[in-house]
Every structure is written in structure tokens, then in C-alpha cells.
């Protein structure tokens, strides 16, 4: 897995997902009507796209629900 340097501030998930997808070419599948406005964590440092997404959504109601080599699916998981 390729590691890429990130410096993404804490912001809405739609903004973070777009920045991560553009940086890596990995498609992030999500329903932005449901997930877009969720506030996520800053992502700083050199890491894989999967680690970057995990850091961004840690402590939120978002979760990676499907992983493929060039695609991640992120959904809201209600507890």
C-alpha cells in the first residue's frame, strides 16, 4: 500500500473524502446526503489511504463497511 503525506484539517467528511480521493486515486463510496456533514478529525502525516480514513473517522458515527484495492465504502453506523 502506497503511503502519501497528508495535511488535512479537521472538517466535514465530504471535504476530507474529496481531498483523500484526489490525493490517492482511491474511490470513496458514500452517501454524502447522510455522511457529508459529519465532522471528522484532521489527518496529518505519511500513511496509506486506509489509515488516513480510519484516523479521520475515529470517534465518529462513520465506519468503513467495505474495502477493495481501489475503493472504500464509508457509511453511518448507528449504535
The reported pLDDT for the residue numbered 18 is 97
The reported pLDDT for the residue numbered 78 is 80
Q: Which residue has the cell 471528522?
A: 40
Domains annotated for the chain, with CATH where assigned, are 4-76 (3.55.50.30)
Grid cell digits, residue 35: 455522511
3-state secondary structure of 37: coil
The reported pLDDT for the residue numbered 36 is 98
- Residue numbers of the chain with a pLDDT score lower than 50: none
Q: Which residue has the cell 496529518?
A: 44
Buried b (16+ CB within 10 A) or exposed e, 44-76: eeebebeebbbbbbeebebeeeeeeeeebebbe
Amino acid at each position: 500500500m502506497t503511503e502519501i503525506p497528508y495535511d488535512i484539517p479537521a472538517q466535514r467528511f465530504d471535504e476530507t473524502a474529496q481531498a483523500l480521493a484526489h490525493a490517492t486515486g482511491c474511490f470513496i463510496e458514500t452517501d454524502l446526503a447522510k455522511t457529508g456533514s459529519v465532522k471528522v478529525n484532521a489527518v496529518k502525516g505519511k500513511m496509506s489511504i486506509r489509515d488516513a480514513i480510519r484516523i479521520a473517522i475515529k470517534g465518529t458515527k462513520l465506519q468503513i463497511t467495505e474495502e477493495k484495492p481501489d475503493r472504500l465504502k464509508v457509511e453511518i453506523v448507528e449504535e
